[in-house]
Copies of this chain bind each other. A is one copy, B any other.
Amino acid sequence: MAKNLQTAATTGAVPGTAANAAQPLPGRRPRGRPRKTHSELDEGNRRRLIIEGAARLFRAKGFAAASTRDIAAAAGMHGGSPFYHFESKNALLYVVMQEGMAQAAASQQAALDGVPANAPARERLRTLIRNHFQVLLGPGSDFIPVMLYEWRSLNDGQRAGISQLTGAYEAQWMPTLRALHADGALKADPRTARLFIFGALNWSVQWFSPRGAQSLDGLTAQALALFVGQAEPCPARAS
């Protein structure tokens, strides 16, 4: 009975079928490209509300402890209604992670595109770290924490799907880390360094408070200093 399935291709679902049936006005003849009906917009909003409520509750209580009834209530719906939009609680978790990663990757790409091609590797790393903090700690960012801490609740196929997204996201860091290693600014092997750096940044969701003293820029500067030290690793003595 679920309308919006996780992967329409695997189910043969015809998109829009249910929505077309909800076109009620008899005296109006649609001309040109059909506009979205009121009910279609509503349904899109409802789906959004479910996803956002799920992200928030999955993060706050964990996947297993957050009930689909909680999520329904957060979206202003009654008990079983989320299953009209998602075939299972697990599929909803997958969508939350997928959307989180898609947004993180898009944000990262946009940030990197803003860095001049001839900028030093350190500047690229600063950009990557700053964007990572933004995605992790910025407003309305429950999606990535859910992805980080509910991995075990995915099944094998879902893990493979998310792995592709995280793999691409992580790969964007490697040229920069290798360049910094070649410079001598990054002292650890780049592959291991990436794992440690991601851990250091990801852990911040456990302790960072937006009302605390630290800004995301300040945090970025501290992380940069910790991992690659000063801009000049060993400045020439001014003697």
Q: Which residues of A contact B (CB under 8 A)?
A: 60-65, 149, 151-153, 186-189, 192-193, 195-204, 206-207, 214, 219, 222-223, 225-227, 229-230, 233-235
Q: In the bound complex, do residue B62 and residue A152 qualify as a contact, i.e. CB atoms below 8 Å apart?
A: yes
Subset of 25 A-B contacts with CB under 8 Å:
A61-B64, A62-B62, A62-B63, A64-B64, A65-B153, A186-B226, A187-B225, A187-B229, A187-B230, A188-B225, A188-B226, A192-B222, A192-B226, A193-B222, A193-B226, A195-B204, A195-B207, A196-B201, A196-B222, A197-B200, A199-B199, A199-B200, A199-B203, A200-B200, A233-B234
Q: In the bound complex, do residue A61 and residue B219 qualify as a contact, i.e. CB atoms below 8 Å apart?
A: no
A153 vs B61: C-alpha distance when bound (angstroms): 8
Q: Which residue of B lies closest to A214 (CB)?
A: B192
- Chain copies in the assembled complex: 2
| Chain B residues, Cβ within 8 Å of A151 | 206
| Chain B residues, Cβ within 8 Å of A203 | 195-196, 198-200, 202-203
| Chain B residues, Cβ within 8 Å of A152 | 60-62
A195 vs B202: C-alpha distance when bound (angstroms): 11
Closest beta carbon of chain B to A183's beta carbon, Å: 13
